[in-house]
Amino acid sequence: MNAAIRAVVRTAIYHDIAVTGIYHGYQGMIDREFVDMNRRSVSSIIQKGGTILKSARCLDFKTKEGREKAYNNIKSQGIDALVAIGGDGTFTGAKIFSEEYDIPVMCIPGTIDNDLCGTDYTLGYDTANNTVIEAIDKIRDTASSHNRVFFVEVMGRDSGCIALSAGVGGGAEAILLPELNSGIDDLLDEIYLAESRNKTSMIVIIAEGDKNGGAYNVAKIVKEKIPHLDIKVSILGHLQRGGAPSSFDRILGTRMGYIAVNELLKGNSKATVGIRGNQMVTTPLEEALNTKELKLDDELLAIANIMNK
């Protein structure tokens, strides 16, 4: 997100447009947490994870009274357009706010789950993948040394993008995804097959939203079915959400911030910026919010199935 913030600020300044940063998102609009930004404000932030402007949930913004207060505050500050970075909640708030007060908005998709419509990749997804693969590599050293089966749970309540990509990239022996109805019997078959080929250690990747109940529950069931296995569970949790962004995410964030400002200058509004192939595109917020886009690549699923065998 910092790469996108930096690009928005510097692109706007290049066009002689003043920029105001808003701390804590919509909550900051209500609480008047404004800061004037210049080129120096965004120096040395492209390598940092998270966001220098912070983030917060804002229940008040869901009310008409809260949005009215936010609008009066930003108008008194001289703000006449918004660039918002976030996910579904951010997009929904931007859409409603723009419709109520006719203020131009452009949204940038930022979520490690990669589950937003209108873009092949969301900000943070590639960095999270790299973090997970690095963790898998380290866990595999222990698994191989001690002949263990590790169940590694990654983020993805409704999306299996991280689990699938990191599972393939990390050479996992099995992957469980929320979008698929992979049963325990299928997993047991994979483990039996691996054992028949004299595999003494395995890595199983499980998305947190998998229908079988998460890594601990799956591990418990497998242990009951195959008692001789030495099973360990590792929940990667929030370490997936931090750290220095990858080169891909830095460049993507920069491109998205640049495009967001230029689209606003062209008069485009109520849209989200995205990347398709290697081309930057915009998608109307209405479409982005109301279209469910399956991000699991069929080819990658087929590859995972073959690599696991």
Give domain limits for the chain.
2-123+245-290, 125-242
Q: Is 113 a catalytic site residue?
A: yes
What contacts 172, CB < 8 A, 6 or more positions away?
A: 136, 152, 166, 203, 204, 205, 308
Q: 166-170, long-range: CB within 8 Å, 24+ apart, which pairs?
A: 166/129, 166/132, 166/133, 166/136, 166/205, 167/205, 167/304, 168/300, 168/303, 168/304, 168/307, 169/129, 169/133, 170/132, 170/133, 170/136, 170/137, 170/140, 170/203, 170/205
pLDDT at position 283 is 97
CATH superfamily ID and name for 125-242: Phosphofructokinase domain (3.40.50.460)
pLDDT in the model for residue 305: 86
> What pTM was estimated for this model as a whole?
0.93
pLDDT of residue 213: 86
Write the DSSP assignment of 146-172 as a string of letters: HT-EEEEEES-SS--HHHHHHHHHTT-
What is the predicted pLDDT for the residue at 86? 95
Query: What is the mean pLDDT, run by run of 10 residues, along the chain of 309 residues?
Result: 98 97 97 96 96 94 96 96 96 96 96 93 96 96 93 93 95 91 85 88 93 92 94 94 96 98 97 96 95 82 85
What CATH number belongs to 2-123+245-290?
A: 3.40.50.450
Which residue in the list 80, 102, 113, 249 is annotated as catalytic? 113
Say if 2-123+245-290 and 125-242 have the same CATH topology: yes
Residues present in the chain in total: 309
